[in-house]
Amino acid sequence: PQGSKEGRAFVDAFLKSSMPKKKAEAIQDILTRKAVVLEHYYKKKAKQKRRKPKGFTARQRREMRLFEIEPDQQRYAIFLPLHELWKQYIRDLCHGLKPDAQPHMVQGKLLKADLHGAVVTVTKSKCPSYVGITGIILQEFKHVFKIITKEDKLKVVPKLNNVFSLEIDGFISYIYGSKFQLRASERSAKKFKLKGTIDL
């Protein structure tokens, strides 16, 4: 009922909890003017820092053999479709590889292109045993190419001190491995400078 002590006590308690920053005198003053604005205070929740998922370490990748190709899969014929896809990718990248295309434009595109699936040949090397190796690039790392030859042999060829030739639709491009020691993802953003002569 109106005017009861219980009702008054409830209203006072309710107003104190709704307006914790105001004193009792201020609440009474508000009540006399019959203008009550209830406030609600949210408790600030501590922001939880999102932890970025950590990738595998180099040691873990080696133990899990993530980058190893099984011996029964080391066959040249298996990767010929990959080479055909790569050729189409380069044609699209170079806008058709027309006969009137400028060689330096094609060279610039090839320097930044993904080479997985390309057929390359080692034309010069400080190690004579590498010269003449021809095959499809299966994997490119920072310092080496993994190449599958027509004899179904997987060769690991270092980029350092080797020159590779790459031919597509009559365009022959040379890759100086010593200046090419980058991962494929890093190479796409790198600016290559023109140089007159390059030594092995």
What local confidence, expressed as pLDDT, does residue 41 receive?
A: 57
188: left (phi over 0), alpha (psi -120 to 50) or beta: alpha
The answer to whether residue 113 is domain-embedded is yes
Tokens of 159: 């980029």
What pTM did the predictor assign? 0.65
The answer to whether residue 174 is domain-embedded is yes
Residue 150: give the domain boundaries: 71-189
What local confidence, expressed as pLDDT, does residue 39 receive?
A: 59
Report how many domains make up the chain.
1
The answer to whether residue 2 is domain-embedded is no
What local confidence, expressed as pLDDT, does residue 102 receive?
A: 76
**CATH for 80:** 2.30.30.210
Per the CB < 8 A criterion, the answer to whether 164 and 177 are in contact is yes
Torsion of CA 177, 183, 189, 192, to 10 degrees: -10
What local confidence, expressed as pLDDT, does residue 199 receive?
A: 63
What local confidence, expressed as pLDDT, does residue 20 receive?
A: 66
How far, rounded to the nearest angstrom, does the alpha carbon of residue 55 sit from its chain's CA centroid? Answer: 12
The answer to whether residue 86 is domain-embedded is yes
> Counting every residue, how long is the chain?
200
The answer to whether residue 163 is domain-embedded is yes
CB atoms within 10 A of CB 15: 18
The answer to whether residue 15 is domain-embedded is no
What local confidence, expressed as pLDDT, does residue 177 receive?
A: 87
The answer to whether residue 21 is domain-embedded is no
Question: What is the torsional sign of CA 101, 103, 109, 115?
Answer: positive
**Average pLDDT per 10 consecutive residues for the chain, totaling 200 residues:** 69 73 71 59 70 79 82 91 92 78 78 90 93 93 92 92 89 86 78 62
DSSP string over 124-180? EESSGGGTT-EEEEEEE-SSEEEEEETTS-EEEEESTTEEEEEEETTEEEEEEGGG-
CB atoms within 10 A of CB 154: 18
What local confidence, expressed as pLDDT, does residue 79 receive?
A: 93
The answer to whether residue 151 is domain-embedded is yes
